[in-house]
Chains A and B, each alone.
Chain A
Amino acid sequence: MELKELYVTASLAQLDLSDEEAETLSALVGQMVEYFSTMREIDVENLEPTTHALLKTNRVREDAVVESAAADTLVGNAPESEGRFIVIPNVL
């Protein structure tokens, strides 16, 4: 994989790569991309395209409220909270 493309992908994944890491990863990611090009060679001429690995469809849920008992615990697990808000570094 080209280094430039790797850096774009890394920044989308919020990864900060050092030059060395980029160098190593470039080869490894290149190999992964390679697998896909191998898969692309398979003849799919007479196959219906699928949208999902599981062929079953239509698992829906009735529109009924179930109160989450975990809300307090979940907020409590945040590294920092104030009142009921979760506090994070300023993002503006």
Chain B
Amino acid sequence: MSASSLNRTLDGIEYEIVVGCEVHVQLLTKTKAFCACENRFGGIPNSRVCPVCLGLPGALPVVSAALVEGAIITGLALGSRVAEITKFDRKNYVYPDLPKGYQISQYDLPICVGGALEIAEGARAVGITRVHMEEDAGKSLHLEEAANASYVDFNRCGTPLLEIVSEPDMRSPEEAVAFVEGIREIMRYLEISDCNMEEGSLRCDANVNLRIHEGEKLFATPIVEIKNMNSFRAIRAALEFETDRQLAEWRSERLTLEAVGKSTRGFNDETGETVLQRTKEAASDYRYFPEPDLRPIEIGRELVEKLRSRVGELPAAKRERLKAQYGLSDFDAQTLVSSKAMSGYFEEAASGSRDPKKIANWILTEVRGVLNDRGIEITSFASPPEHLRELVDSIESGIISGKIAKDVFAEMAASGKRPSEIIRERGLSQIADEGELRRVVESVIAANEKSVTDYRAGRDHALKYLMGQVMKESRGRANPIAAARLLEERLNGR
């Protein structure tokens, strides 16, 4: 795609939007980054704190192996180079939710460098600058009724974070959204993070400015870093607002990046506007220096290769393969690939099945229904994949009807029993035997004289009723096609 085709024009101004993102994701490790406190969202305030995450004098941090491994896995998934040696640095700033007065982060030797993420929007690869490890801060709460006080909760303090920094490669708000969605898909798939924007386990800041084309001349508007975008809708709205604002500012003041530099603006979800937070003059000076309490980490190539095998096939590739191999729709493939465990369950159930598409349908409707109802993951689901395959095969081969299969499924999901066992125990297999079906038909006809008369008088709907009675009498086990044929033959006096 040539650069010029990305240009937009408004009121005679030809411009191009340039966006780069900084994405923070909280890791799903059991413990915090540098202490053994439990890493979990919410809970009773200040219940998961210790001398290390509260920054008490003399307390020493020790990095969790799971944080380092999560960072390496993420880097590998994004095609980054994993550093051979990496270290931590202190980022110094003063805020009440940061008890140490600094955040342990990484400055000049991040754990992963480079890489790219393919996004469907605009069919482009967005470059990854770096991935580094750091810790989250606590939370401060401000209540309107208590104007003189703020309330601090340090439970989140020390939560392991990865910061993923992109190159300024995105050219529209939609591409920025697609990038963050792509990061979320990979992080969830690899079970690194649950990326829940509402709970703040995925957060995104964006740097945006415009390139203005005036004939041969090219101008860049001042870069704005937008903070506080807490949903995909907010990312899009904030970038759209900022584009318009920068265009208007260019029209009236012709300010350039060289003249003004960078500023920070916060997005207000209620007004849909960005508000100036600080200018270049007031930019923070973090006085980074190496963290003396943590040793550098040497990353052996053996570990990298071991972790590479855990990355395996990534969501985008898997989606395409599932569509090609099993004939799944876009939507089905997308939903199954939303988690590694879910797509693994599907593939195990589908292998050797006569109808993988039906298996996918069962997983996406019935299985997901049970998971949602009980609030559990597929990994805790009672029935192993081969049981689901057996159930679907039983319908295909006419042993049970689709309706009965739902009852069998409910029991499978509750007890973990094999479907064949349930069918045998409860005598649920379909009646296809003509003799047995005839007996059912006779008893229905004998018991519903009026409907039989109605039918013979030409009221077709009576047939439907009688058929319903046949299914009821057989407790749903009558093979419907054979039963309907026998019923009609009998009613028509043949």
Instruction: Tell me if A25 counts as interface (CB < 8 A to partner B).
Output: no
Does A42 reach chain B (CB closer than 8 Å)?
no
Whether a CB of chain A sits under 8 angstroms from the CB of B64 is yes
Q: Which of A27-63 contact B (CB under 8 A)?
A: 51-54, 56-63
Evaluate contact between A60 and B150: CB separation under 8 angstroms: no
User: Which residue from chain A places its CB closest to the CB of B30 in the assembled complex?
Assistant: A63
Let me know if B50 and A71 touch, CB within 8 A.
yes
User: Among B37, B153, B154, B298, which residue has its beta carbon within 8 angstroms of that of A58?
Assistant: B298
Q: Kindly state whether residue B296 has any CB partner on chain A within 8 Å.
A: yes
Q: Give the shortest distance, in Å, between A49 (CB) and chain B (any CB).
A: 11
Provide the residues of chain B in CB contact with A54, threshold 8 Å.
Answer: 295
Q: Is the interface of A mostly helix, strand, loop or mixed?
A: loop
Chain A residues with Cβ under 8 A from B37's Cβ? Answer: 65-68
Whether the Cβ atoms of B46 and A87 lie closer than 8 Å is: no
Closest B residue to A85 by beta carbon equals B151
B38 pairs with A67, CB closer than 8 A: yes
A84 cross-chain contacts in B, Cβ below 8 A: 44-47, 153
The 7 closest A-B pairs by CB, nearest first: A68-B50, A63-B66, A66-B36, A85-B151, A84-B45, A60-B65, A61-B62
Measured between alpha carbons, how far is A77 from B120 in the docked complex, in Å? 53
* Size category of the binding interface on chain B: 35 or more
B49 touches A71 (CB 8 A): yes
Q: A90 on the interface (CB 8 Å rule)?
A: yes
Smallest Cβ distance from A36 to chain B, in angstroms?
A: 13
Which of B140-148, B186-194, B208-216, B272-280 participates in binding chain A?
A: B140-148
User: How far is A61 from B158 in the complex, measured between Cα atoms in Å?
Assistant: 14
Distance (Å) between the CB of B40 and the closest chain A CB? Answer: 9
How many residues of A are counted as interface, with CB atoms below 8 angstroms from the partner's CB atoms? Answer: 35
Q: A51 touching B96 by the CB < 8 A rule?
A: no
Give the distance to chain B from A65, nearest Cβ to Cβ, in Å.
Answer: 5
Residues of B within 8 A of A58 (CB): 295, 297-298
Instruction: Give the distance to chain B from A73, nearest Cβ to Cβ, in Å.
Output: 10
Contact status A65-B30, CB under 8 Å: yes
- Asked if B74 CB lies within 8 Å of chain A CBs, one says no
Minimal beta-carbon separation of B156 from chain A (angstroms): 13
How many angstroms from the CA of A64 to the CA of B31 in the assembled complex? 6
Of B49, B285, B294, B295, which contacts A74 at CB under 8 A? B49
A residues neighboring B (CB under 8 Å): 8, 12, 14, 51-54, 56-68, 70-71, 74-75, 82-92
CA distance A12 to B92 in the complex (A): 9
Q: Taking the nearest CB of chain B, how far is it from the CB of A42, in angstroms?
A: 19
CB-contact partner of B30 in A8, A64, A68, A92, under 8 A: A64
Q: Are B65 and A61 in contact (CB under 8 A)?
A: yes
Q: Given the complex, which residues of B lie within 8 Å of A75, measured CB to CB?
A: 46, 49
Complex: chain A residue closest to B87, CB-CB: A51
Cα-based distance from A68 to B36 in the complex (angstroms): 8
Q: Which residues of A contact B150 (CB under 8 A)?
A: 87-92
What would 12 A/B residue contacts be, using CB atoms closer than 8 Å?
A12-B287, A51-B290, A52-B295, A52-B296, A57-B296, A60-B297, A71-B50, A82-B151, A86-B46, A86-B153, A88-B151, A92-B142
How far, in whole Å, are A82 and B152 apart by their CA atoms in the complex?
Answer: 10
A82 to B46, CA, bound (A): 11
Chain A: CB-nearest residue to B160:
A63
State A86–B46 Cα separation when bound (angstroms). Answer: 8
Shortest B234–chain A CB gap in Å is 21
Name which residue of chain A comes closest to B61, CB basis: A61
Q: How many angstroms between the C-alpha atoms of A54 and B296 in the bound complex?
A: 9
Quick check: A57 and B62 within 8 Å, CB to CB? Answer: no
Contact with A along B145-187 (1 / 0, CB 8 A): 0011111111000000000000000000000000000000000
Which residues of the other chain, B, contact A85 by a CB distance below 8 angstroms? 45-46, 141, 151-153
- Nearest Cβ in chain A — how far from B295, in angstroms? 5
List residues of chain A with CB within 8 A of the CB of B147: 90
B15-44 contact mask (Cβ, 8 Å, vs A): 1 or 0:
000000000000001110001111000001
Cross-interface CB contact of B68 among A51, A60, A65, A68, cutoff 8 Å: A60
Q: Which partner residue on chain A sits nearest B153 by CB separation?
A: A85
Question: Which chain B residues (228-259) contact chain A, with CB distance < 8 Å?
Answer: none
| Residues of chain A lying within 8 A (CB to CB) of residue B92 | 12
Q: How far is the CA of A57 from the CA of B299 in the complex (A)?
A: 10
Give Cα distance in the complex from A61 to B150, angstroms. 34
Q: Which residues of B contact A90 (CB under 8 A)?
A: 142, 147-150
Say how far A21's CB is from chain B's closest CB, in angstroms: 20
Q: How far is the CB of A20 from chain B (nearest CB, A)?
A: 24
Residues of A within 8 A of B45 (CB): 83-85
Complex contacts, A63 vs chain B, CB 8 Å? 29-31, 64-66
B54 within 8 A of A: yes
| Bound Cα distance from A52 to B86, whole angstroms | 11
